[in-house]
Structure 1
Amino acid sequence: MSKRILVVDDSATMRDLLIRYMQVDDNLVAGADSGAQALDLMKTERYDVIVTDIAMPEMDGFGLIRAISELDWDPSVILLTGHDPRTLQSAKELALAYSINLLGALTKPVNKDMLLSMLSDVADTRTKGRTGTETVLSESEFMRGLMTDGLSPVFQPKIDLKTGELAGAEVFARWRAPTGGYLGAGAVIKVAQEKGHMDVLTYRMLELALQQQGKWRRQGLDVALSINVAADNLRKSDFADVVTGLAEQFGVEPKMVRLEVTEADLDVDVRVPLEVLSRLALRRFGLSLDDFGTGFASLMRLQKIPFDEIVVDRMFISRAGEDDTARIILESAIDLAHKLKLKCTCEGVEDEEQLRIVRSLGADIAQGYLLGKPMTANEFLIWYEDFRDGVITIPGLKD
């Protein structure tokens, strides 16, 4: 499929060379000599890929990264530099911080084969918004859909790296669009956050997830589920009672339910969240500190709150093969978890090399597209039966 590509570089020679490199497979490639000119072009055209130099006058690559993150569609990005590799690393960090779809980063002179390889798997994004569709979810549609069939949980497998068996699944939100198909969690969370309904969204997700979990249990399949909890829920002193009541209603054992909390959702005033989470731990619900390593107070949270698992942020897994710093942080997180008698889950495992690394470093559980994508309840049941029977095998999972 042809792609629309924008090359941003203040050097005419380099810009023309990159354009020639990428004029293959009917790609339509345009050029801009500055970040400002690139933004003007993006007002009238949506590009699938933006290839940008970092060191440019006026608006440099760092400013352009921030501007790209504010677009109403989601282009892929390739970063270039002829400067110190540390500058390139900083730009990569910024792109990841802004949740940009970063294909890679190259130093000049650019290797043509590497550049074309990065382009090979780019999806067509020109007709899609950041939520994967141009459909905008209104507050009334959101509230109506919560009580009907708008919200739908999907389940991504988590694999025990010691046994190679299913360890459970994480639950994600999807929204059934009126035109068919699904909206991603971003569309749902956006309206929930803007309208102050995150607590309602969490309650409904818990209800749907535990309802499915109880159904599976009656069918003879016990699947431990991990469910994300919002800050608004942790500020409500009765939240532990709500979770307990749902588990009892659907016949689910507390030890089969794991609540994931991100550090950003823990207030400076931790008194109510501490009470809520401690009560949940007392009742045998699992507690995970999600996105471990991205904040500055993670160790204090582990000291104060009875977590029994940490989930290492995917950022460190994705870069552990090429970035010594990321690998050291990953290894330290796994080692810290074990010394504190906690389990360590590594999310975002996308290829065999990443699986090999997290296994070699002693992680307990892995999760990611290499192991299984998020699936509907029916798809998950079929996947599990095929996985259990050896029809589905995961390269690198077992020696």
Structure 2
Amino acid sequence: MAEQARLRILVIDDDSFQCSIVSKLLGTMADCDVSTQTDARLAVPLIDSGWDLLLLDLNMPDMDGIEFLSEMAAASVKPPVVFFSGEEDRILEVAEELAKSLAIEVLGSIAKPVSKEKLSAVLDQVNRGQEAPKSSAYAFEQLSVEEIRTGIDRGAVEMVYQPKVDANSLQLVGVESLLRWRKPDGSLIGPGAVIPTAEANDLIYPLTRAVLLQSIAQQGEWRARDFHIKVSINLSVDDLVQPDLVAFLDQLLNEHRVPADTIVLEVTESKLVDDVNTVLASLTRLRLKGFGLSIDDFGTGFSSMEQLRRFPFSELKIDRAFVNGAHRRASAKAIFQSSVNLANALNMVSVAEGVEDDADLDLAVELGTHLIQGYHIAKPMSAIDHERWFEGRGH
């Protein structure tokens, strides 16, 4: 195993006494170089100096932590941040959301006074990040319209599958089928490089057709081998106004001998619904045929409550923003709980996505969530790897 790299940490706090305490504690806990700065303005030129971690106070004179985050947003290299502050939890939560919106990784918050135990948890996260393999396979990029059009024709669309399990028993219930894109050089990129351009250039439906074809064909293969689970497939609102969508789905089900009730169609809230009547008609026809319908990323899109009232959804998928780390964020936990209660009241299945650790799992169970999904259970994987994962669990 390669030797662990020496951590470089920058502490920014106007209280020199706090800086001294944190610096000494870190020095006793890890092999690290710690620098301190009591004036955030003077720390701005240091942002992209190769730090492994910034410990940032929020309430400082001259330049506060929020202003400093804005300066960080313009940096070429943005180190991960941990807030340490005496502010109330709600302010820390909002600061975390702001940082994430600026593409700044937030590892968490530490309430003052800082303790060795709190710092230890942070260092564990930093070390895990250093040990993780760095891959460019999902690096951010945007494919061109022509790359997407020709890629669909050459079979660039590939699917991976992330398990959805019963929250209490952890028994496998289904999978979500997730898009990956195979570039001509053989590397894989994620959906973020494809979908925005496809949606903006009338290519989302051809892309969706390729996704539906592969996902339903895979479900047919699994069922032929007595592997009975449900497969969830993402649809854009734009797909639902296509006049041949329902007929195309019927064709795929018949061709691959897949019952409609083994397919869940997840509808994202990424945009406003323009042609409400057409969307309503499509969703109703799909429900009549037996498909499950899931409202995806619930709580983060447009008019969630109105869509929930009007459209015949059978599943409510709670966005990871209200699940991951909700045990330490009162507002997220309240929304998580309310969403589960709402699903129960409407006789819908509740699904928590973004379950990343034991604390997320425990809270999902405590709140009565039906199904869970996230890296704590399993990462997205190929169909073959998914079968091996399932067999390896002893089922």
Instruction: Compute the TM-score of the two structures, normalised by the length of structure 2.
Output: 0.83
| Residue identity in the other structure for 2:46 | L
Give the secondary-structure state (helix, strand or coil) at the position aligned to 1:56.
coil
The answer (yes or no) to whether the contact 2:269–2:302 under 8 Å persists in 1 is no
Q: Match for residue 259 of structure 1?
A: 265
The answer (yes or no) to whether the contact 1:173–1:188 under 8 Å persists in 2 is no
Q: Match for residue 318 of structure 1?
A: 324
Evaluate the alpha carbon distance shift between residue 110 and residue 74 of structure 1 in structure 2; reply closer, same or farther with a 3 A threshold.
Answer: same
| Residue identity in the other structure for 2:105 | N
| Residue identity in the other structure for 1:349 | V
- Once the two structures are aligned, what percentage of the paired residues are identical? 34
Post-superposition shift, 1:34? Answer: 5.5
Q: Match for residue 49 of structure 1?
A: 53
Q: Match for residue 253 of structure 2?
A: 247
- Residue 7 in structure 1 maps to residue 11 in structure 2: yes
Query: Which residues in structure 2 correspond to 1:35-114 (within 5 Å)?
Result: 37-42=42-47, 44-57=48-61, 59-65=63-69, 68=72, 75-95=79-99, 100-114=104-118
The answer (yes or no) to whether the contact 1:46–1:126 under 8 Å persists in 2 is no
Give distance in 1, aligned partners of 2:14 and 2:136: 28
Post-superposition shift, 1:199? Answer: 3.2
1:67-123 deviation line (CA, Å, top 9, x unaligned): 556766664221122334442233234345556532110122322331232122331
Post-superposition shift, 1:137? Answer: 4.3
Q: Which of these residues, 300, 318, 328, is aligned with residue 294 of structure 1?
A: 300
Give distance in 1, aligned partners of 2:319 and 2:123: 26
| Residue identity in the other structure for 2:85 | T
Please, which runs of 5 or more residues in structure 1 have no aligned partner? 391-399
Query: Which residues in structure 2 correspond to 1:81-160 (within 5 Å)?
Result: 81-95=85-99, 100-122=104-126, 123-124=129-130, 132-133=138-139, 137-160=143-166
Q: Match for residue 386 of structure 1?
A: 392
Post-superposition shift, 1:366? Answer: 1.2
The answer (yes or no) to whether the contact 2:140–2:192 under 8 Å persists in 1 is no
Post-superposition shift, 1:311? Answer: 0.8
Give the secondary-structure state (helix, strand or coil) at the position aligned to 2:257.
coil
CA RMSD of aligned residues (A): 3.3
Q: Greater shift after overlay, 33-42 or 353-362? A: 33-42
Q: Greater shift after overlay, 72-81 or 337-346? A: 72-81
Q: Greater shift after overlay, 281-290 or 217-226? A: 217-226
| Residue identity in the other structure for 2:153 | M
The answer (yes or no) to whether the contact 2:234–2:266 under 8 Å persists in 1 is yes
- Residue 236 in structure 1 maps to residue 242 in structure 2: yes
Evaluate the alpha carbon distance shift between residue 129 and residue 241 of structure 1 in structure 2; reply closer, same or farther with a 3 A threshold.
Answer: same
Post-superposition shift, 1:13? Answer: 4.7
- Residue 221 in structure 1 maps to residue 224 in structure 2: no
Post-superposition shift, 1:337? Answer: 1.1
Evaluate the alpha carbon distance shift between residue 34 and residue 172 of structure 1 in structure 2; reply closer, same or farther with a 3 A threshold.
Answer: farther
Evaluate the alpha carbon distance shift between residue 220 and residue 67 of structure 1 in structure 2; reply closer, same or farther with a 3 A threshold.
Answer: farther
The answer (yes or no) to whether the contact 1:73–1:125 under 8 Å persists in 2 is no
Give distance in 2, aligned partners of 1:14 and 1:270: 56
Post-superposition shift, 1:159? Answer: 0.8
Post-superposition shift, 1:374? Answer: 0.9
Instruction: Compute the TM-score of the two structures, normalised by the length of structure 1.
Output: 0.83
The answer (yes or no) to whether the contact 2:12–2:56 under 8 Å persists in 1 is yes
Give distance in 2, aligned partners of 1:300 and 1:336: 13
- Residue 209 in structure 1 maps to residue 215 in structure 2: yes
| Residue identity in the other structure for 1:225 | V
